[in-house]
Amino acid sequence: MLSLIAALALTPVTVTVQTPNPEGVIYVQLCDSATFMREGCPHQQRREAAAELQFVFETVEPGEWAIMVWRDPDSDGQMRRGMWGQPLEPTAISNNPPARFGPPIFEDAKVTVGEEPFAFTLSVR
């Protein structure tokens, strides 16, 4: 019975990704504060790039999440980084958080997912 109640509390999240350069692979992640800008985000999907794609995550727990998008133009599955660790491939993060002297912080990127279906749109070059 408890698992049925827990399942009822899950929310569908739809992330629409737009890009003027639909080449390669698009990766989308929903990360909590513990996994933001790290490995192991609980919700991840990838798909061949198109001008506009919708990624639906059916089983997201209500709470605070950051949405991260990365376009891998050469489809090698590797994020190229600069000498200071900054991404050299197109990325987008919910709320467009600043990256001052290091990566963005979760508090600037977070969105709140409630019990109703949630939708968010991000654009990536």
Per-residue confidence (pLDDT) for residue 8, from 0 to 100: 61
Range of the domain at 60: 2-123
Mind listing the pLDDT tens digit for each residue in 21-43? 999 999 999 999 999 999 899 99
Using CA atoms, how far apart are residues 23 and 19, in angstroms rounded to an integer? Answer: 9
Q: How many domains does the chain have?
A: 1
Residue numbers in the chain where pLDDT is lower than 70: 1-8
Q: What is the CATH number of the domain that holds 59?
A: 2.60.40.1120
